[in-house]
Amino acid sequence: MNCQEIQKNLSSYVDGVLSSEEKKLVEGHLTSCGQCSAALADLRKAKDLLRNLDEVEPPPWLTAKIMARVGEEKEQRASFLKKLFFPFYIKVPIQALTVILVGVIVFQVYRMVEPEKKVTHAPSPPSLLTEQEALKKETPSGAAKSSEALSPQPQRNTAASKIAEKKDENAQPMSYAQGREDKKPGNVPVPAGENAPVMAEATPEDKSKKEAAGLANVPVQTEASRQRFPEGQPEDSEKAAVFADKKGVEEEPETTVLKDKITRQRACAQLMPCIIVSVSDTAAAKKVAEDMVKQLDGKAIETITQGTREIIIAELPSENINELSEKLQTLGEIKTNPELSKLPEETVRVHIEITPR
């Protein structure tokens, strides 16, 4: 082993990590080599210098500073978690509160509406009898108004009467019931509220007229429309008449009924939620539309064909109205009236008009 190799091993020798053989070799060399002995002395000196370096005292605040920073770190982490779950701590209660509040309001509204609903569904087979009962309570002052509304009033006939009755039954049980029970109009939701007094205004002048009044006013929008559109009513009626003439329909019972219907539907359209659909094939669209109404828990109360136009008066839950208009949109371009956006009742009647494009 030459000096270079010995000196390489001196470090391990100093640390006492050489094998006994290597140690012997090194020690043997050291006794005979002054240079390597000097190197060993230097090495020991250097090692001692390092070992004898004083320990340094860390600043007294070091532990506190470290722990303060650790605390900050933990806080930050905690606040991060807090932020992460913030919605659960704060927002949820607010949301829950809102939901409860809405629930309470809905319940209150439901309770307010319920009695009327009962009335609405009360068995009130609108027969001539009930009609007459209702009419008995009517004020004579309403007669003029009523006849005014009746405009081109044709001869009374049985067919018309029957239809009228049927309509009454389907379309306006409420107003009759109210008439009968003398309900305060103030309690009644808007359309019915308007309808009720109308019924009361019909005159018992003669049976024909009475019934005609019933017929014409049954969906009672006549009165309402007169109130809203004082000039509109006769005009509409005239149009209807003209329309009937154009169609070449003779002045027969059906024509009368048709005219009435048209009159009424027109009036209806101004009060009822109304959806006008422009389609290419009205007949087909009508069927589809009827199906849609059925699908949405509604029923078509009445369908009218006006030349190329199809009118469906349907009754369905108000919450389904929007869906209906969306579905109808698949048939063609739709137009709606403002009534469609304010639906206070649970069940609404909607006027669907299917017109050719």
Partner 1 sequence: MMSNKSDHVYDDDVTFISRCQKGDTEAFGVLVERYQKKMFNIAFRMTGDYEAAGEVVQEAFLSAFRAIKTFRGEATFATWLTTIVLNHAKNSLKKTRVISHYEPISLDQAADPHNETPRFDPPADSMSAMERLEKKDIQEVVQEAINSLDTEFREILILKDIQEVSYEEITAILKIPDGTVKSRIFRAREALRERLKRKLGDW
If the CB atoms of residues 2 and 158 are measured against partner 1, the closer one turns out to be 2
Q: Which residue has the tokens 């140690």?
A: 23
Q: The dihedral of CA 73, 78, 82, 84: what is its sign? A: positive
If the CB atoms of residues 81 and 104 are measured against partner 1, the closer one turns out to be 81
If the CB atoms of residues 61 and 89 are measured against partner 1, the closer one turns out to be 61
If the CB atoms of residues 68 and 99 are measured against partner 1, the closer one turns out to be 68
Q: Give start and end residues of each alpha helix (H) in the chain.
A: 3-15, 20-32, 34-51, 62-84, 86, 92-121, 128-136, 142-150, 158-171, 173-181, 190-201, 207-217, 221-228, 232-246, 253-271, 282-295, 321-329
What separation in angstroms does the CA of 32 have from each of 21, 25, 38, 40, 109?
Answer: 17, 11, 12, 13, 114
| CB 46, min distance to partner 1, A | 5
If the CB atoms of residues 70 and 100 are measured against partner 1, the closer one turns out to be 70
If the CB atoms of residues 7 and 153 are measured against partner 1, the closer one turns out to be 7
Nearest Cα neighbor of 224 from 196, 189, 205, 257 is 196
- d(CA 354, CA 40) in angstroms, rounded, equals 112
| CB 22, min distance to partner 1, A | 12
| CB 35, min distance to partner 1, A | 14
If the CB atoms of residues 63 and 139 are measured against partner 1, the closer one turns out to be 63
If the CB atoms of residues 35 and 139 are measured against partner 1, the closer one turns out to be 35
- d(CA 43, CA 117) in angstroms, rounded, equals 107
Nearest Cα neighbor of 172 from 312, 315, 67, 15 is 315
| Angle, alpha carbons 225-227-233 (nearest 5°) | 45
Contact 194, 223 (CB under 8 A): yes
Please report how many Cα atoms fall inside a 13 Å half-sphere around the Cα of residue 60, on the Cβ side.
Answer: 0
Contact 264, 219 (CB under 8 A): yes
- Between strands 274-279 and 347-356, the pairing is parallel
Residue 179 exposed, middle or buried by CB count within 10 Å (0-12, 13-18, 19+): buried
Nearest Cα neighbor of 183 from 125, 191, 174 is 174
| CB 61, min distance to partner 1, A | 9
| CB 31, min distance to partner 1, A | 21
Would you tell me which residues interact with partner 1 (CB under 8 A)?
8, 10-12, 15, 17, 42-43, 45-47, 49-51, 53-59, 62-63, 65-67, 69-71, 73-74
If the CB atoms of residues 10 and 149 are measured against partner 1, the closer one turns out to be 10
| CB 18, min distance to partner 1, A | 10
Q: Which two tokens stand for residue 281?
A: 């094939």
| CB 16, min distance to partner 1, A | 11
| CB 29, min distance to partner 1, A | 16
